C-alpha cells in the first residue's frame, strides 16, 4: 500500500510533481501512465526517498520508506535501469545490495534464476544489453521479496518474450496480495497488464480509475453532426441512454446512437443535416486526448487547445473525444 498526500516536487521554478494525492492498493496491478516528463519517475523516486518532496508526504505501508527496519522487504524498486554500467558482475552487485539486509547467496541465485540471468551472472555488467540491464534491475527489485514492487518503465528494451514475462510476473505477484506499481508511457501495454490506472500529466493526476472504467468510457463511439436546426434535433434525439452535447454553434456530439439512427430520425422529422460523422476513439486516442494538453515536449505541429479538457478528470471518461478529433485535423 502506497499513499501519497499533497505530494509535490519543484526543481527551482520548474514544477515536476504538483500536489498529487493517490493510493496504490495491494492485490492489484496499478499502472502509472503519462507522457515523458509528466513526473512519473520523480514520484517513484520520492516514494523510496531518493528525492525529497518539496511538499506533502508519501508512505509505504503506513510509514515513510526510510523508517522501515527492513526497507528492501517493504519495497523493491526498479528505477532508471539503463544507468547500470559497472565493472562489477551481476552476482556481486546483487550480493552487495542484499548483504545490507543479511540476504545471502541462496536468495541472490534465486532471483538470478528467476530473471533468466544465469548465463551472464558472473559477467561484468558493463557489457549488458538494455534488456539484460532491465532484467538485472528487476532481479534487484525482487531481492528482498518485497510486499510492494515499484517498476519504472519495466518493459523498456525487453524483447516480446521479456515483455510477456514482466506482464505475467506483475500479475502473479499482485495475485499474491502484493502492491504492484508500474509506470509506462504506453497505454497499450498498460491495458494488458494493469487493473487500475493513475494517469499523470505535467505533474498532475488526470485520471485515477479502474482500467475497465477508463476503457468503457473512452471507447464509446460518438457521432458528430451539424444542422441548421441543431436545437430541434437535439430535443428529438435526447433519451435515457443518449447524451447530446452542443459543441459549437449548430454542431452536436451525440453518444448512444449510431449515425444511421440519427440520420433516419432527422429525415423522419425533415431536419436537414450538413454533417454526420461517426467518431470512434481507440484506447491510444483516449489516452492522447487525456494527456494532450499535458505533454511536456510536443513534437511540434498541433499545439494544445487549452487545459480545460485535459486537466478535468471528468474528461477521462470520454466526453471530450470529439475535441481530440478537432485537434488532430
Partner 1 sequence: MSATMTARPSAASLPRLSAVGILRSEWIKLRSVRSTVWSYAIIVVVSFAIALLLAATIDFDGAAPPAEMQTSIVLQASTFGIYFGQLIVGVLGVLTISGEYSTGMIRSTLTAVPKRLPALAAKALVLFVTTFVVGLISVFGSLLIASPLLAASGVEADYGDGALIGNLLLAALYLALVAVFALGLGTILRSSAGGIAASLGTILLLPTIVSLIAALTQAEWANDLMPYLFANAGTGMYTPSLGGEGLDQGQNTLVVLAWVAVSLVGGALLLKRRDA
Interacting residues toward partner 1 by CB under 8 A? 45, 48-52, 65-66, 68-73, 75, 77, 79-80, 83-89, 92-93, 95-103, 140, 144
Judged by beta carbon, residue 2 or residue 262, the one nearer partner 1 is 2
Phi, psi of 55 (to 5 degrees): -155, 160
Q: How far is the CB of 66 from partner 1 (least distance, A)?
A: 4
HSE-CB of 33 using CA atoms within 13 angstroms: 32
Judged by beta carbon, residue 52 or residue 329, the one nearer partner 1 is 52
Q: How far is the CB of 165 from partner 1 (least distance, A)?
A: 22
Judged by beta carbon, residue 77 or residue 173, the one nearer partner 1 is 77
Judged by beta carbon, residue 67 or residue 282, the one nearer partner 1 is 67
Judged by beta carbon, residue 53 or residue 318, the one nearer partner 1 is 53
- Using CA atoms, how far apart are residues 168 and 175, in angstroms rounded to an integer? 10
Measured CA to CA in angstroms, residue 214 lies from 160, 207, 290, 318 at distances of: 26, 9, 11, 8
Q: How far is the CB of 94 from partner 1 (least distance, A)?
A: 9
Judged by beta carbon, residue 139 or residue 237, the one nearer partner 1 is 139
Amino acid at each position: 500500500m502506497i499513499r501519497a498526500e499533497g505530494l509535490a516536487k519543484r526543481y527551482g521554478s520548474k514544477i515536476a510533481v504538483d500536489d498529487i494525492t493517490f493510493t496504490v492498493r495491494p492485490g492489484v496491478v496499478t499502472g502509472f501512465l503519462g507522457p515523458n516528463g509528466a513526473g512519473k519517475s520523480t514520484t517513484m523516486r520520492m516514494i523510496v526517498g531518493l528525492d525529497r518532496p518539496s511538499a506533502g508526504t508519501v508512505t509505504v505501508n503506513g510509514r515513510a520508506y526510510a523508517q522501515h527496519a527492513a526497507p528492501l522487504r517493504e519495497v523493491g524498486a526498479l528505477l532508471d535501469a539503463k544507468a547500470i554500467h559497472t565493472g562489477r558482475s551481476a552476482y556481486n552487485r546483487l550480493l552487495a545490495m542484499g548483504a545490507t539486509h543479511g540476504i545471502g547467496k541462496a536468495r541472490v541465485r534465486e532471483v538470478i534464476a528467476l530473471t533468466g540471468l544465469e548465463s551472464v551472472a558472473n559477467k561484468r555488467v558493463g557489457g549488458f544489453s538494455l534488456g539484460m540491464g532491465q532484467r538485472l534491475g528487476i532481479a534487484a527489485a525482487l531481492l528482498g521479496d518485497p510486499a510492494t514492487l515499484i517498476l519504472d518503465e519495466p518493459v523498456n528494451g525487453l524483447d516480446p518474450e521479456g515483455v510477456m514475462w514482466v506482464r505475467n510476473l506483475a500479475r502473479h505477484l499482485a495475485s499474491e496480495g502484493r502492491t504492484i506499481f508500474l509506470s509506462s508511457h504506453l497505454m497499450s501495454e498498460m491495458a494488458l497488464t494493469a487493473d487500475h490506472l493513475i494517469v499523470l500529466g505535467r505533474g498532475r493526476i488526470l485520471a485515477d480509475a479502474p482500467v475497465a472504467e477508463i476503457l468503457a468510457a473512452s471507447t464509446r463511439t460518438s457521432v458528430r453532426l451539424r444542422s441548421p436546426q441543431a436545437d430541434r434535433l437535439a430535443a428529438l434525439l435526447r433519451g435515457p441512454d443518449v447524451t447530446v452535447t452542443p459543441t459549437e454553434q449548430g454542431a452536436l456530439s451525440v453518444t448512444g446512437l449510431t449515425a444511421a439512427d440519427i440520420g433516419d430520425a432527422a429525415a423522419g422529422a425533415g431536419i436537414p443535416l450538413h454533417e454526420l460523422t461517426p467518431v470512434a476513439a481507440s484506447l491510444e486516442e483516449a489516452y492522447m486526448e487525456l494527456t494532450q494538453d499535458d505533454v511536456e515536449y510536443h513534437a511540434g505541429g498541433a499545439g494544445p487547445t487549452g487545459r480545460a479538457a485535459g486537466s478535468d478528470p471528468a474528461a477521462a471518461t470520454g466526453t471530450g473525444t470529439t475535441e481530440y478529433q478537432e485537434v488532430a485535423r
